[in-house]
């Protein structure tokens, strides 16, 4: 089986719930530096994530302009949030 390149856990996972609740309109378009500061990751981490297929969804406005919708970043954070109250398995 091939090794996954998607990080299974990242330090921002511990803060995901707090980040989701931060203000701002879901339709806001954020550039890479702004998104990286909000998430507490490097711009390079986001850039690598785009090239390897992980990280929040993004909008490519032109070959050199990428933006992140705040709502897409929140949705991505929700997907990474684990509810420890819910039993695993089934």
Residue entry with tokens 């994530």: 49
Number of domains in the chain: 1
| Residue 14 located in a structural domain | no
The alpha carbon dihedral of 36, 84, 86, 22 has a sign of negative
| Residue 63 located in a structural domain | yes
| Residue 44 located in a structural domain | yes
Q: What angle do CA 74, 75, 80 make, to 5 degrees?
A: 95
First to last CA, the chain: 25
% of the chain exceeding 90 in pLDDT = 57
C-alpha dihedral (79, 82, 87, 88), degrees to nearest 10: 70
Its pTM stands at 0.73
| Residue 33 located in a structural domain | yes
Q: What are the pLDDT digits (tens) for 23-52?
A: 889 999 999 999 999 998 999 999 999 999
| Residue 90 located in a structural domain | no
Domain boundaries, position 53? 29-80
């Amino acid at each position: 089986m091939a090794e996954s390149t998607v990080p299974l856990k990242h330090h921002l996972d511990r803060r995901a719930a707090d980040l989701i609740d931060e203000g701002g309109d879901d339709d806001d378009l954020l550039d890479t530096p702004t998104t990286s500061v909000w998430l507490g990751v490097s711009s390079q981490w986001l850039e690598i994530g785009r090239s390897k297929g992980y990280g929040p969804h993004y909008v490519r406005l032109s070959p050199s302009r990428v933006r992140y919708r705040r709502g897409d970043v929140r949705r991505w954070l929700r997907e990474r949030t684990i509810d420890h109250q819910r039993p695993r398995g089934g």
